């Protein structure tokens, strides 16, 4: 079996997580890295190992034609321009979330994809956290009965420092509800297997980054929000986000309530942000209405996989599936441009609702974005 050669565009924190996880795959290696920041480029190249080629420009990486697939892990506001160039190739692409900072740019990328045969996978790795994967499988198997509600709580640490402080401003991120929460909106839509029709959101920038200044500007990203969503068919979703709530036992809690049972996936935060710096196991919980009993199961993940990133092993499991797709040479990505578009649409609409204090009709919002 030939080795699949990866080219990485963007060598910062998430790019380095991709390198560590690709290194755990059989028959895969990072052979080239592009990033204009010298420190990040060198750190990523050292991590990838001897022989890795480094470039200051993604265009130089493309011209060298060293790679079988590309991974985009650059700041959000660069995705559109980078993807325009990468999608002109015939190589598979894994693009980090969010696909773009706004819905209109996502639509442009979807149009460009109509002219290519190679897949574009959007990195919604939360689907691949082991306890969440287990929850989704059990929902599909009917263990909850008919799903009626999805509730997601993410209580976590603030945004981390990044090169050029790009993640401190809505203009470069798309806003917290796009940058951070597109994962969670994707989960709701995926679990309920339904399209969202309206939402209302409220949020604020109340605790984090208030004393920070960048060229005299105060960061404007939200650090907390509630988002309530109505889906087609009468199902509902709710997000509870707080980014100044680190230290709890669970960082993410995903709950699905059906007419038979309530299912929960409970995910701990990264070990490096915990008090003792140790990895902890996740849990899967079933509360059956008829039996009036709660059953808890530990969901274990190999510790070397947990140590490779900050997303409870999900980056590795996602890469496994992407590599399988690449080797097959045909097929549809499990999380494609359409899913990337919807996750950004919901996040952008939620940001709009926070700013205006008004509910948003998502069908009209989508039409306006496409106009």
pLDDT mean over 248-254: 95
Strands (E) across 97-220 are located at 120-123, 147-155, 196-204
Token representation of residue 187: 């989960």
CA pair distance 23, 317, nearest whole angstrom: 13
What is the per-residue pLDDT across 12-53, written as a single tens digit (0 to 9) for each? 999 999 999 999 999 999 999 999 999 999 999 999 999 999
Q: What is the 3-state secondary structure (H, E, C) of 219-255?
A: CCCCCEEEEEEEECCCCEEEEEEECCCCCCCCCEEEE
Kindly report the backbone phi and psi dihedral angles of residue 182, in degrees, each rounded to the nearest multiple of 5, phi listed first. Answer: -55, -35
Q: What pLDDT score was predicted for residue 275?
A: 73
**What pTM was estimated for this model as a whole?**
0.96
What is the per-residue pLDDT across 306-329, written as a single tens digit (0 to 9) for each? 999 999 999 999 999 999 999 998
pLDDT mean over 102-109: 98
Domain boundaries, the chain: 4-125+325-335, 126-310+342-365
Superfamily of domain 126-310+342-365: Dihydrodipicolinate Reductase; domain 2 (3.30.360.10)
Cβ contact 277:223 at 8 Å? no
Strands 4-9 and 69-72: parallel
CA pair distance 256, 261, nearest whole angstrom: 8
What is the per-residue pLDDT across 259-291, written as a single tens digit (0 to 9) for each? 999 999 999 998 887 777 788 899 999 999 888
Superfamily of domain 4-125+325-335: NAD(P)-binding Rossmann-like Domain (3.40.50.720)
């Amino acid at each position: 079996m030939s080795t699949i050669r990866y080219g990485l565009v963007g060598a910062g924190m998430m790019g380095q997580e991709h390198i560590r996880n690709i290194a755990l795959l059989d028959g895969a290696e990072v052979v080239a890295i592009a990033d204009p920041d010298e420190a990040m480029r060198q750190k990523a190249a050292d991590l990838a190992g001897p022989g890795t080629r480094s470039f200051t420009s993604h265009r130089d990486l493309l011209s060298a034609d060293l790679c079988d697939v590309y991974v985009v892990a650059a700041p959000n506001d660069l995705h559109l321009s980078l993807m325009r160039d990468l999608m002109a190739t015939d190589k598979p692409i894994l693009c980090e979330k969010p696909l773009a900072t706004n819905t209109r740019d996502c639509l442009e990328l979807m149009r460009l994809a109509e002219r290519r045969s190679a897949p574009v996978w959007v990195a919604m790795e939360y689907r691949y956290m082991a306890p969440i994967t287990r929850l989704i499988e059990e929902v599909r198997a009917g263990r909850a009965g008919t799903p009626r509600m999805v509730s997601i709580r993410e209580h976590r640490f603030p945004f981390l420092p990044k090169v050029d402080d790009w993640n401190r401003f809505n203009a470069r991120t798309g806003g917290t509800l796009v940058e951070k929460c597109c994962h969670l909106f994707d989960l709701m839509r995926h679990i309920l297997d339904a399209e969202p029709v309206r939402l209302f959101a409220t949020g604020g920038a109340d605790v984090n980054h208030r004393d920070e200044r960048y060229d005299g500007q105060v960061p404007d990203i939200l650090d907390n929000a509630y988002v309530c969503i109505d889906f087609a068919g009468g199902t509902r979703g709710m997000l509870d986000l707080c980014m100044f709530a680190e230290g709890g036992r669970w960082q993410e809690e995903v709950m699905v309530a059906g007419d038979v049972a309530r299912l929960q996936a409970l995910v701990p935060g990264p070990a490096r942000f915990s008090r003792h710096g140790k990895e902890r196991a996740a849990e899967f919980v079933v509360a059956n209405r008829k039996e009036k009993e709660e059953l808890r199961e530990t969901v274990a993940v190999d510790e070397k996989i947990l140590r490779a990133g900050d997303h409870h092993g999900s980056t590795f499991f996602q890469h496994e599936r992407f590599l399988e797709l690449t080797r097959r040479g045909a097929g549809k990505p499990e999380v494609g441009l359409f899913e990337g578009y919807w996750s950004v649409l919901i996040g952008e609409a939620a940001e709009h609702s926070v700013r205006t204090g008004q509910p948003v009709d998502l069908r009209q919002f989508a039409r306006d974005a496409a106009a």
